[in-house]
Structure 1
Amino acid sequence: WEAGKGAVWRLSFGQDGAARWRRLAGGLSMPHTVKRGPDGRIYVSEMNRILTLDPDAADAQASVRTVIGDLPDNRLHDNRHPLSSFVFDGNGDLLVNVGAPSDRCLDAAGKPKVDARGACVEDAATAQVRRHAYLGNGRWAEDSTVFASGLRNSIALVRHASGTVLQAENSVDLDTPNHPYDEVNVLTQGRHYGWPYCVDLATPLPGWPARQARCNERERPIALLPPHAAPLDLIYYEGAMFPELQGRLLMTWHGFRRAAGRIVAVETDGQGRPLTDIGGRYAVYPRGALSYPAGAPSVNGKVLTPGWDKIAGRHPRGSPVTMATAPDGSIWVTDDRSRAILRIARPR
Structure 2
Amino acid sequence: MKHWSWKRAVLIAALVLTVGTILAGVGPSARAAAPYATRGDCGGLARTTVEMADGYCLGLVWQRAGGDGPRLPRDLLPLAGGDWLVSDLGSWDNGRGAVWRLSPRTGGGVGWTRLLSRLSLPHTLTRGPDGRIYVAEMGRILTFDPASADPAATIETVIGDLPDNRLHANRHPLSSFIFDGDGALLVNVGAPSDRCLDPAGAPQRGAAGGCSERVTQAMVRRYAYLGAGHWSGDWTVFASGLRNSVALVRHAGGAIFQGENSVDLTTAERPFDEINRLVPGGDYGWPYCTDMATALPGWTAAEARCGRRTPPVSLLPPHAAPLALLYYAGPMFPELRGRLLMSWHGHRRAGGRVVAIETDASGAALTDRPGRYAVYPGGSRPYPAGGPAPRGRVLTPGWDSRPGRHPRGSPVGLAVAADGSIWMADDRAAAILRIARP
Following TM superposition, where does structure 1 have runs of at least 4 consecutive aligned residues deviating by more than 4 angstroms?
Answer: none
User: Is the counterpart of residue 336 in structure 1 residue 427 in structure 2?
Assistant: yes
Residue number among 293, 297, 304 corresponding to 2:388 in the alignment:
297
Q: Deviations over 1:152-201 (max 9, x none)?
A: 00000000000010000000011201100000000000010000000001
Q: Distance in 2 between matches of 1:273 and 1:71?
A: 29
* Offset, 1:17: 2.9
> For residues 1-348 of structure 1, what are the structure 2 equivalents within 5 Å?
1-77=92-168, 80-347=171-438
Kindly name which structure, 1 or 2, has the bigger radius of gyration based on alpha carbons: 2
Preserved CA contact (<8 Å) 1:264 1:303: yes
Number of aligned pairs? 347
Deviations along 1:61-109, one digit per CA (max 9) or x if unpaired, are: 1111100000001353367311110001011110000000000001111
Contact 1:185-1:223 at 8 Å conserved across structures: yes
Q: Percent identity?
A: 67
Determine if contact 1:81/1:101 at 8 Å carries over to the other structure. yes
Structure 2, gaps ≥5 residues long: 1-91
In structure 2, C-alpha distance between the alignment counterparts of 1:234 and 1:301, rounded to whole Å: 14
Partners of 2:169 and 2:427 lie apart in 1 by: 23
Q: Give the Cα separation in 1 of the matches to 2:97 and 2:171.
A: 18
Return the offset for 1:15.
2.4
By how many angstroms is 1:20 displaced?
1.4
With normalisation by structure 1, the TM-score equals 0.98
Whichever structure has more helix as a proportion of its residues is: 2
1:84, 1:98 within 8 Å by CA — same for their partners in 2?
yes
- When the two structures are superposed, what TM-score results if normalisation uses the length of structure 2? 0.78
Q: Distance in 2 between matches of 1:167 and 1:76?
A: 25
Question: Partners in 2 of 1:158 and 1:221 — Cα distance?
Answer: 15
Contact kept in structure 2, 1:169 and 1:184, CA below 8 Å: yes
Unaligned stretches of 5+ residues in structure 1: none
Q: Secondary structure at the match of 2:214?
A: coil
Query: Any conservation in 1 of the 2:168–2:192 contact (CA below 8 Å)?
Result: no
